[in-house]
Amino acid sequence: MSEGIILVTGGSRGIGAATATLLAGQGKEVVIVDIQPEPLPGGAILWPAPFDVASEGTVIAGVADIEKAHGPITGLVNAAGIFGKMHRLEKVRMEQWDREVNIDLRGTFMVARSVGVRMAARRHGAIVNVASVAGMTSGPIHAYTAAKAGVIQVTQTLAAEWGRVGVRVNAVSPGFTRTAMLEAGIASGAMNKPLMERYAAMNRMVEPVEVAQAIAWLLSPLASAVTGINLPVDCGYLAGSTWGAYGGLPQPPAS
Ligand SMILES: NC(=O)c1ccc[n+]([C@@H]2O[C@H](COP(=O)([O-])OP(=O)(O)OC[C@H]3O[C@@H](n4cnc5c(N)ncnc54)[C@H](O)[C@@H]3O)[C@@H](O)[C@H]2O)c1
């Protein structure tokens, strides 16, 4: 079988763009789709039509058209997503809840299903869903945390569904990652950069390319026995975030 293409949703910006650029730089044939399609430098192919992962019709027709134009999809990266609006519980608007869940959870499921059934028929493929540490912790982003927990669960379910036909399905859970999405949250004052860094064991944010490297590994034959996992890529945020209750993380000795 030819190597096929890798499809990256949300590929025009942020973690999706970093992943598409890394994989294209490794010589893979990468096609990016986005609701706001913009080309990337570095060889990834742009699917020029707007591709909304929350639209079932777009996803079904789009995946078929992409395979017709570029050949079988053997790798899928579900990186399209929107960040949750921060609100006190009483202020959560259900239209906003629906929007976040529609894109982040329902969209991830629909793209994974449309691509995965094709991979399953060919008995070959790997899928990586971008979840979040927010799916494993709590925060005042009520729909987002629920949607990302759902992505982790969908990942396990699809891994079990397709394990016997050679399709692997995994998730990565980035910690706070320096993308435009996060920079906007910091600029608006909604998020506190020094605290995000301080709670991470490594005392810094994640770079988009570091998430891309984990995704590239999960897609590759190097991860041939790995399916159904959720890999945090978080500079030790999950490990370190509870230490505040014990006086904080230890500071390194002055060098
Ligand atoms: N940045 C972080 O700190 C962080 C942390 C954990 C998880 N994530 C997750 O990583 C993924 C990528 O986030 P990012 O930080 O790179 O954001 P980003 O805004 O930089 O990039 C997201 C991309 O998805 C596209 N997109 C949005 N809605 C879409 C839709 N309906 N259909 C198709 N494309 C759509 C956007 O146009 C954009 O190009 C998201 O799922 C996000 O929840 C981000």
Give residue-wise pLDDT tens across range 170-208: 999 999 999 988 998 899 888 899 999 999 999 999 999
> Residue 1: pLDDT above 70?
no
pLDDT of residue 185: 86
pLDDT of residue 176: 97
Q: Round to whole Å and give the CA distance between 221 and 218.
A: 8
Q: Which amino acid appears at position 162 of this protein?
A: W
At 130, give phi and psi (nearest 5°).
Answer: -95, 105
Q: Round to whole Å and give the CA distance between 8 and 46.
A: 10
* CATH, domain range 5-176+206-233: 3.40.50.720
Helix/strand number for the chain, H first, E second:
9, 7
Query: Which atom of ligand 1 is closest in space to residue 174's alpha carbon?
Result: 6
CA 180 to chain centre: 15
pLDDT of residue 188: 86
Tell the residue nearest (CA) to atom 43 of ligand 1: 81
- Told to judge if 144 belongs to the known catalytic residues of this protein, a careful annotator would answer yes
Query: Which atom of ligand 1 is closest in space to residue 38's alpha carbon?
Result: 39
> Residue 27: pLDDT above 50?
yes
Distance 11 CA to ligand 1 centre (A): 9
Distance 179 CA to ligand 1 centre (A): 9
Q: Round to whole Å and give the CA distance between 33 and 125.
A: 19
Show the tokens assigned to 211.
């998430």
Tokens 């890798």 sit on residue:
6
Ligand 1 test: best mutation among 56, 96, 148, 181, most atoms within 8 Å of CB? 181
Distance 12 CA to ligand 1 centre (A): 9
Regarding predicted confidence, which is higher, 229 or 86? 229
Tell the residue nearest (CA) to atom 36 of ligand 1: 10
Within a 10 A sphere around the Cβ of 95, how many other Cβ atoms? 6
Question: Looking at 144, 199, 237, 246, which residue is catalytic?
Answer: 144
Averaged pLDDT score across all residues of the chain: 96
Q: Place 38 in a pLDDT band, splitting at 50, 70 and 90.
A: very high
Query: Which atom of ligand 1 is closest in space to residue 133's alpha carbon?
Result: 6
Ligand 1 pocket by Cβ (under 6 Å): 9-10, 12-16, 34-36, 51-54, 79-83, 103-104, 107, 130, 132, 174, 176-177, 179-182
CA 23 to chain centre: 15
Average pLDDT over residues 40-57: 97
Distance 79 CA to ligand 1 centre (A): 6
Please give the share of the chain, as a percent, with pLDDT higher than 90: 91
Query: Which atom of ligand 1 is closest in space to residue 13's alpha carbon?
Result: 39
Q: Round to whole Å and give the CA distance between 106 and 147.
A: 8
Tell the residue nearest (CA) to atom 40 of ligand 1: 81
pLDDT of residue 86: 86
Asked if residue 144 lies in contact with residue 100, where contact means CB atoms within 8 angstroms, the answer is yes
Q: Which amino acid appears at position 91 of this protein?
A: K
Q: Place 224 in a pLDDT band, splitting at 50, 70 and 90.
A: very high
> Residue 2: pLDDT above 70?
no
Q: Which amino acid appears at position 202 of this protein?
A: M
> Residue 90: pLDDT above 90?
yes
- Pick the closest to residue 46 from 57, 35, 56 (CA basis): 35
Strands 73-78 and 5-9 come out as parallel
Q: Round to whole Å and give the CA distance between 170 and 142.
A: 24
Ligand 1 test: best mutation among 63, 155, 179, most atoms within 8 Å of CB? 179
Strands of 5-9's sheet, edge to edge?
Answer: 45-46, 29-33, 5-9, 73-78, 125-130, 167-174, 230-233
Least confident of 68-82, 145-159, 183-197: 183-197
pLDDT of residue 3: 87
Please tell me whether residue 238 adopts helix, strand or coil conformation: helix
Please tell me whether residue 205 adopts helix, strand or coil conformation: coil
> Residue 233: pLDDT above 90?
yes
